[in-house]
Structure 1
Amino acid sequence: MSKPSVVPLSVLDLSPVSAGQCAADALRNTIDLAVSAEALGYSRYWLAEHHLSPGVAGSAPHVLSAVIAAATSTIRVGTAATILGNYRPVQIAENIGTLSALYPGRVDLGFGRSGVPKAPADETGPGDPRPPVASPAPTGNRVVDGLLIPAPRPLFGKKFPERFQVQADLLGRVPGDADNFENDVQDIIAFFAGEFRAAEGTEVTVHPAQGNAPDFWIHGSSAGPSARLAGKLGLPFGANYHVAPAAVMESIGEYRSHFKPSATLAKPYVAVSADVVVAETESLARTIAAGYADWVHSIRTGRGAIPYPVPEDAGRQPELEPAEAWLIQDRLDTRFVGHPAQVAEGLRTLQRATGANELLVTTITHHQSDRIRSQELLAQAWGLS
């Protein structure tokens, strides 16, 4: 076993649906992976939130967190992230409060900002929804202390893809609701602390949230409002290297520059995410990692994640056009794929360059056995107990 690493490892799971499987299969795989992660010494098991994607079953992270907490006994469970605006703040407090009351000291609530901001009338028409615009990052690939920071890629274009407009409508989203992010975060924290007051001054008691606060996190992909709010409130921050690698250094810098000590934290605390696939050999790792390009392309183009391809089928698919390949090249180049020592070294580079206090790994493969084995090999190489 390798020398133990100081920085803890945690797991992020989307509950991916593999080709030929159903959502129930993916959800059962998530539970099995969480049980394995706990036995291997991973610190947290966090769930992402995705909606209306054929290849992702993780659309109800609060419900699934409860199932995972019941199936485990020590690992922290939570969301990365709960997308504010998809719920009313009091619903989030009640849901997570229930979980935290039943599993005290084990629950994390991560806040994520996403929505349908108002677009300028001269670009897409009055009030037309479009994706949030990320803070600008330096153009062109660069290397920071050995870590590749790729050039930024556009996301979708100027107008929301039709699928996301349908999703926004079904979830009750309206243009500009992302602007409520800070108020929603503050309200949810107040519900747990018993400090919320209605507009007319009426005291409000939210059971079972009151007195059962989880650990609060804010997650972000750019040097924008999420990073600044995490710093302002003195909360830990989750930075997305696996989703938005171009902006990871700027987002962490923004968080640290705005950080104010709080009752929660005396100094900044950052968890950085990474895509990993580990196998006994580099060749085998690259074989089982096949299919990732088509899967990421389906997400980046706004079609929604496709069921994750069978590795043997990946080589039979038509090659992406140059423009299509460029759109996802940053995700391919920043995925850590290889034998245990290779991936562990890559993750140490990621930790060193970003100054992360914790790393969050996500592994997407077709076969569940490959995900579990990847998790096992990485735990051994990292020196988890």
Structure 2
Amino acid sequence: MTDLSVLDLAPVPEGSGVSQSLANTLDLARHAEGLGYRRYWLAEHHNMPGIASAATAVVIGHVAAGTKTIRVGSGGIMLPNHAPLVIAEQFGTLSALFPGRVDLGLGRAPGTDMATARALRRNLEAGVDGFPNDVVELMAYFAPAGPNQRVRAVPGEGETVEVWMLGSSTYGAQLAAILGLPYAFASHFAPAEMEHAIDIYRSRFQPSESLDKPHLMLGLNVFAAETDAEATLLFSSLQQAFVNLRTGRPGKLPPPIENYVETLDPAARAMLDSALSCAVVGGPETVRAGLDAFIRRTGADELMVTAQIFDHAARKRSFEILAEAHRELAKAA
């Protein structure tokens, strides 16, 4: 049966702050661990008032220290923002502190606007174009050092960090296939090339020391509640946030609004229909059917579930309902 994992953007709701957001992240991680979710990933975004996980490795350490068994990691680290050695040291440290539990998902987008990307990197000359070389360099730091190797990652060298390739286009699929890495596609916000990327990854995969066959994870928005109507209301927070972001007005996560979509013009509705088409929104029966349909359609090995829900208690309940639906599907399989 397809595994379930959690992608947390550490949302900062309107009327709240970063401290509460990070406390909610740990609380949700403990909740997910108790419900049997496999991984808990944090995402790197910068200059976004509604996302508190910019210092991603720090937040991963916060989650790992407060949990016991769930795997923790990044979904992802935007590698062009960083020197590979720095990331090797950060995640080598996490692996030394929490052995056998650390994932390192890597992406090549900046995770921010271009002005902020310049502030992060100082220059953008190598950035994205050097991404494949940076990935190979980073992975090499986790291997045993050679006899004449002058630069070593300490901590990092010899640590068993599970490296993943992330992507929202076919580029990441090709690189994951060439390097023989597990692949996570961002279908939760960029589903247009999902099926093409899946085909490329599976058909071109080359076995590696870390992976002998393709391993695919797909992002999925799941907003579950007691009824379809309640779930639709909860979903409106993400819809508002997405429209705000795409129109240059990023902010904190808005509270839900009744009939929000009906207030939008046709262009905004079309944008949401396209960007958020990989979403399961509804009560328990709707969620169970939607989850089953998505798994059958894609054959994903894992689903990375995200839920930008304004109320923390409702967010926890959503993951409960999803876990129960998953268990029911597993029994029926």
TM-score (norm 1): 0.81
Once the 2 structures are TM-superposed, how far is the Cα of residue 318 of structure 1 from its aligned partner? Answer: 9.1
Q: Residue type of the partner of 2:223?
A: V
* Structure with the higher helix share, 1 or 2: 2
Q: Residue type of the partner of 2:164?
A: W
Once the 2 structures are TM-superposed, how far is the Cα of residue 16 of structure 1 from its aligned partner? Answer: 0.8
Match of 2:156 in 1: 209
Q: Residue type of the partner of 1:88?
A: A
Asked if the contact 1:194/1:206 (under 8 Å) is kept, the reply is no
Asked if the contact 1:83/1:111 (under 8 Å) is kept, the reply is yes
Q: Residue type of the partner of 1:359?
A: L
Match of 1:44 in 2: 39
1:358 matched to 2:302? The reply is yes
Match of 1:97 in 2: 92
What SS does the aligned partner of 1:311 have? Answer: coil
Q: Residue type of the partner of 2:114?
A: Q
Distance 1:211 1:292 in 2: 40
Match of 1:376 in 2: 320
Match of 1:239 in 2: 185
Segments of structure 2 that go 5 or more residues without pairing to the other structure are none
Match of 2:224 in 1: 278
What SS does the aligned partner of 1:219 have? Answer: strand
1:190 matched to 2:140? The reply is yes
Distance 1:206 1:84 in 2: 16
Asked if the contact 1:47/1:78 (under 8 Å) is kept, the reply is yes
Distance 2:261 2:294 in 1: 32
Alignment partner for residue 229 of structure 1, among 175, 192, 216? 175
Q: Residue type of the partner of 1:189?
A: M
Which fold has the larger relative contact order, with Cα–Cα distance below 8 Å and residues 6 or more apart in sequence? 1
Q: Structure 1 273/231 Cα, relative in aligned 2: closer, same or farther at 3 Å?
A: same
Distance 1:231 1:341 in 2: 36
Segments of structure 1 that go 5 or more residues without pairing to the other structure are 1-5, 116-130, 132-162
Once the 2 structures are TM-superposed, how far is the Cα of residue 169 of structure 1 from its aligned partner? Answer: 1.7
Give the greater-gyration-radius structure (CA): 1
Distance 2:113 2:27 in 1: 31
Write out aligned runs for 1:2-17 (5 A). 6-17=1-12
What SS does the aligned partner of 1:274 have? Answer: strand
1:264 matched to 2:210? The reply is yes
Match of 2:116 in 1: 167
TM-score (norm 2): 0.93
Distance 1:165 1:196 in 2: 38
The alignment-based identity, stated in percent, is 41
Once the 2 structures are TM-superposed, how far is the Cα of residue 262 of structure 1 from its aligned partner? Answer: 1.1
Computed over aligned residues only, the root mean square deviation of the Cα atoms, in angstroms, reads 2.1
Aligned residues: 328
Alignment partner for residue 104 of structure 2, among 100, 104, 109? 109
Q: Residue type of the partner of 1:20?
A: G
Q: What does the per-residue CA deviation read over 1:216-245, in whole Å, with 9 as the maximum and x for residues that have no partner?
A: 100111112x21111111110001211111
Asked if the contact 1:194/1:205 (under 8 Å) is kept, the reply is no
Distance 1:337 1:297 in 2: 18
Distance 2:264 2:229 in 1: 22
Distance 1:62 1:263 in 2: 25
Match of 1:181 in 2: 131
Distance 1:69 1:295 in 2: 28
Once the 2 structures are TM-superposed, how far is the Cα of residue 23 of structure 1 from its aligned partner? Answer: 1.3
Asked if the contact 1:196/1:204 (under 8 Å) is kept, the reply is no
